[in-house]
Amino acid sequence: MKRPSSIAIHGVDYLDYRNKGVTEFKALTEGARDFVAWIERELGVTVNFVGTGPTNEESIDRREDISLEALDNFSSRNELVLGQA
Segment 3-44, tens digit of pLDDT = 888 899 999 999 999 999 999 999 999 999 999 999 999 999
CB burial readout 26-39, b (16+ within 10 A) else e: eebeeebbebbeeb
Length of the chain in terms of residues written: 85
On whether residue 51 sits in a domain, the answer given is yes
The domain tally of the chain equals 1
- The dihedrals phi and psi of 81, each to the nearest 5 degrees, come to -105, 120
pTM for the structure as a whole:
0.72
Q: How far apart are CA 14 and CA 50, in angstroms?
A: 12
On whether residue 1 sits in a domain, the answer given is no
Residue 83's pLDDT band (boundaries 50, 70, 90)? very low
Better-predicted residue by pLDDT, 82 or 48 = 48
Residue 25 confidence (pLDDT)? 94
Domain that holds residue 29: 6-82
Nearest one of 66, 59, 65, 49 to 19, comparing CA atoms: 59
On whether residue 44 sits in a domain, the answer given is yes
On whether residue 35 sits in a domain, the answer given is yes
